[in-house]
Amino acid sequence: MSMAAGDVFTASVREIALGGAGLASVDGMKVFIDMTAPGDTVRARVIREHGNWAIAELAGLLEPSPLRTEPACPLYGICGGCSLQHLAYESQLEAKTSILKNAFIHIGRTGIPLPCAAASAPWEYRNRVRLHRAGEKLSAGFRARKSSEVIPAPDCPVAEAGIRAALKGGTFPERECFTAYSRNGLFLCEGAVERGRTRLLDREIILDAGVFFQSNAVMLEKLVTDLLETAESAPAGLPAADIYCGVGTFALFLKDRFPRIDLVEENRTALALARENVQGEGIAFFAMKDEDWVKMKNGAQRSGPGYGFVVADPPRRGLSPGMRRWLAAKGPPLFAYVSCDPATMARDGGELAGEYNLEKLCLYDFYPQTAHIESMGVFRRKRGS
């Protein structure tokens, strides 16, 4: 079947695809339709056609899926922050787990263990938000769905209570765009109080509102706990590395487990915070891109033991080609990969499959009501590799 922009059709939605759109099949062509749920029968209108697949918009809901629920936010569908509020939370979690699994099957083309999933509180979980203003006298808000327009937001049900109170009270600085962080009475905001400390598990960490930090502290604690449990099976007595370390969150907890830990981060502002957060003996900081760090390691003349454990938390683009090659050739016996994109993680995992077995794969739902997927894969080096 050939489809063109403007064509209207009827279809049944079978699953949620990477990115959050519902996926339907129309005469063998894949069609992606936002704001739909598995089991919906819909009328939809083609927006763009791309050969053997197309993007469409919902024109009418003919038969709603039993997986649907009423969105909690009156701005849902207008604001661009959330894309899955129309889907019951349990179904969101199932959809994301399936997306993670399918990424490894179809992109990584590797056998994987059954993914586990760590659920979050569905609402008031988000500690960190990016806000905008359309003008000095307008309320703070969020970017519109698929537009740069700013939608004033008098409330946000996914935001932590402190941020919700600030939205309702209009107590933000007069800035065009800014980031706010709120947790347990701590409130940081660009243009106001920007630095502060929060507690993760049994440790304090310094934050800066203008520097990236994970937006769901409860899920971050769960991830850190699992990472520490994973690190316990690393060879004793060998050093570790935290690649793309940010403000040093993982190294803060790992430093006591290893005789030395190297922190690598190209963002110098984030690394400056990491220097404050991670202190003690046997700690080294490298303000450089991962590719440059790999070149330095490959060109080092001194010999010594390799790493026993490496954790990497790369940006959405995944591991760089140089980092993948280094891991394959000289990587540690145990490698933990924290990812914000199942597609690039599956690609990287597929390239490492000759040297590593994927021992564990778990989804951490840092962002309920959205299509974002955070996960951790635990890779163990094959014997003889």
Do 111 and 154 lie in one domain? The reply is: no
pLDDT of residue 300: 67
Do 153 and 22 lie in one domain? The reply is: no
361: pLDDT confidence band, cut at 50, 70 and 90?
Answer: very high
Do 267 and 357 lie in one domain? The reply is: yes
Do 244 and 328 lie in one domain? The reply is: yes
pLDDT of residue 336: 98
Say if residue 301's pLDDT is above 70: no
Residues 66, 67, 72, 74, CA torsion sign: negative
% of the chain beyond a pLDDT of 70: 97
Domain-ending residue, one of 176, 208, 240: 208
Do 224 and 321 lie in one domain? The reply is: yes
Do 237 and 319 lie in one domain? The reply is: yes
Domain-ending residue, one of 153, 187, 208: 208
47: pLDDT confidence band, cut at 50, 70 and 90?
Answer: very high
Do 140 and 289 lie in one domain? The reply is: no
Q: What is the CATH number of the domain that holds 271?
A: 3.40.50.150
Do 226 and 105 lie in one domain? The reply is: yes
Domain-ending residue, one of 208, 234, 264: 208
Q: Is residue 172 in a domain?
A: yes
What is the DSSP track for 302-370?
A: ------SEEEE---TT-S-HHHHHHHHHH--SEEEEEES-HHHHHHHHHHTTTTEEEEEEEEE-SSTTS
pLDDT of residue 146: 85
Q: Is residue 15 in a domain?
A: yes
| pTM given for the model | 0.94
Average pLDDT of span 265-286: 97
Q: Is residue 57 in a domain?
A: yes
Q: What angle do CA 378, 104, 240 make, to 5 degrees?
A: 20
- Give pLDDT tens digits for 60-74: 999 999 999 999 999
Q: Is residue 191 in a domain?
A: yes
pLDDT of residue 298: 83
- Give pLDDT tens digits for 152-185: 999 999 999 999 999 999 889 888 999 999 999 9
Q: Is residue 357 in a domain?
A: yes
Do 335 and 226 lie in one domain? The reply is: yes
The total domain count for the chain is 3
Residues with Cβ within 8 Å of residue 161, at least 6 apart in sequence: 124, 182
Q: Is residue 81 in a domain?
A: no
pLDDT of residue 139: 81
Do 272 and 326 lie in one domain? The reply is: yes
Do 105 and 230 lie in one domain? The reply is: yes
Q: Is residue 319 in a domain?
A: yes
Which residue segment(s) compose the domain that 144 sits in?
Answer: 128-208
Q: What is the CATH number of the domain that holds 23?
A: 2.40.50.140
- Closest by CA position to 333, among listed 380, 383, 384, 378: 380
Residues with Cβ within 8 Å of residue 123, at least 6 apart in sequence: 72, 157, 158, 368, 369
Do 203 and 222 lie in one domain? The reply is: no
Q: Residue 89 in contact with residue 117, Cβ under 8 Å?
A: no
Q: Is residue 74 in a domain?
A: no
User: Torsion angle of alpha carbons 42, 43, 47, 49, nearest 10°?
Assistant: 80
Say if residue 136's pLDDT is above 90: no
Q: What mean pLDDT is reported for the chain?
A: 94
